[in-house]
Chains A and B, each alone.
Chain A
Amino acid sequence: MTTTINASTVSGLVNTADTSGILQLQTASTAALTIDGSQQVGVGTASPASLLHVAGNIRTSSGANYAQFANNFLRSNASGSFFYDNATVGQSNEFRTSVSSSLDTTALTLTASGILALRNAGTSATGIGITFPATQSASSDANTLDDYEEGTWTPSVGGTATYSGQVGQYLKIGKFVFASFDLTINLIGTGSKSSITGLPFTAGSSSNTQAGTVAYWSDFAISTTSFYIRVDSGGTTITTASTTTTQITVTNTPNVLGNGTRLIATAIYTSNA
């Protein structure tokens, strides 16, 4: 037998006479819909913990659906694409993960301008791109890219040398470092005649000696037919080698740098982290 509850007034069915208890609909002797004394609605649960608590799946099945959270939407369109729309102007989307039972931490931030910032990375960069933390969190995994940084450094031969040009740029991608420089020595003084210091990162202590490329030199202190630079393991110094004639083995640390020497080169090496 089917029983229908009809509203007794034009306002419809508006309350239950039991003001301290619950209003519950059951099917097959199981609670299907429960409204508790705090007006919390449970679907599939007799103990709702939120204003709407669904103990099970939620499905919307028309071509384009959305769920709205204030100004933000979870949305699908008729062709099946799925969107998270942040409709608050200038606001970022943060993806949080739990690193302990009581703390959620932002793992990823997508800013309104299109910057994807990894955990602890700044979100104020201009342009569009991926931002790594300003202080590297090194990964020991061979397949994880954990750092990107670009900047400047100052090549030096130390001692009392003076310079008329002394600039360097570096780019670090993961462990890989490109450190280019353009060095013009005015007076060599007590500076080194064969090595350049100041590299922005230490070469890996377990790496081999690594090479660089030389683009230009002028006014070496000795006639030179070929010239090479390298970075030894664990160091922040560029060491030189050269030949002055046909040689079986290059001359190591030749005294080529002197007054007026200009050298343009790039050290390419892997760092410790």
Chain B
Amino acid sequence: MALTETKIIDQITVTENGTVLYREATRILKDGEQIAQTYHRSSLTPAQDLTGQPANVVAICNAAWTDEVVAAYQAQVAASQIGTSA
């Protein structure tokens, strides 16, 4: 019996406002058959620092985050704020 663990980014989604969501699946295999799986999700907003992010995610962020997307996202964030700032 051989137990192995693999990690793979099995899902990358770019939402309409440019936010990039990705999911890392950790799979436990017993003799090649998957017996368990857990997920870890992350989200990245336009213009966010990408240090330490997986290369395939960085590539998608760089493609999706045009100047127009970043500006539109920042405008959306500003518009969605309620109340007064400290």
Contact = CB atoms under 8 A, between A and B. Distances in A.
Interface string A128-148: 000000110000000000000
Interface string B16-49: 1101010101000000011111111111010011
B86 A202 contact: no
A251 B82 CA distance: 10
Nearest to B49: A158
Contact of B45 (A152, A154, A205, A236): A236
B31 to A, nearest CB: 13
Contacts of B41: 151-153, 170, 200-201
B40 A151 contact: yes
Given A126-B35, A153-B40, A209 B86 contact: no
B49 to A, nearest CB: 7
A105 to B, nearest CB: 22
Interface stretch (A40-48, A51-59, A89-97, A227-235): A227-235
B39 A234 contact: no
Contacts of B35: 124, 126
Given A154-B40, A254-B86, A135 B80 contact: no
B77 interface: yes
Interface size class of B (residues with CB under 8 A): 20 to 34
B6 interface: no
Contact of A272 (B15, B37, B82): B15
B1 to A, nearest CB: 16
B86 A201 contact: no
Nearest to B41: A200
Q: Chain A: interface secondary structure?
A: loop
Contacts of A252: 81-86
Interface of B: 10-11, 15-17, 19, 21, 23, 25, 33-43, 45, 48-49, 76-77, 80-86
23 contacts: A124-B34, A124-B35, A151-B23, A151-B39, A152-B38, A153-B40, A153-B41, A158-B49, A159-B49, A198-B42, A202-B19, A202-B21, A205-B17, A234-B15, A235-B77, A236-B21, A236-B43, A237-B77, A249-B83, A251-B83, A252-B82, A252-B86, A253-B81
Interface of A: 122, 124, 126, 134-135, 149-154, 158-159, 170, 194, 197-202, 205, 209, 232-237, 239, 241, 249-255, 272
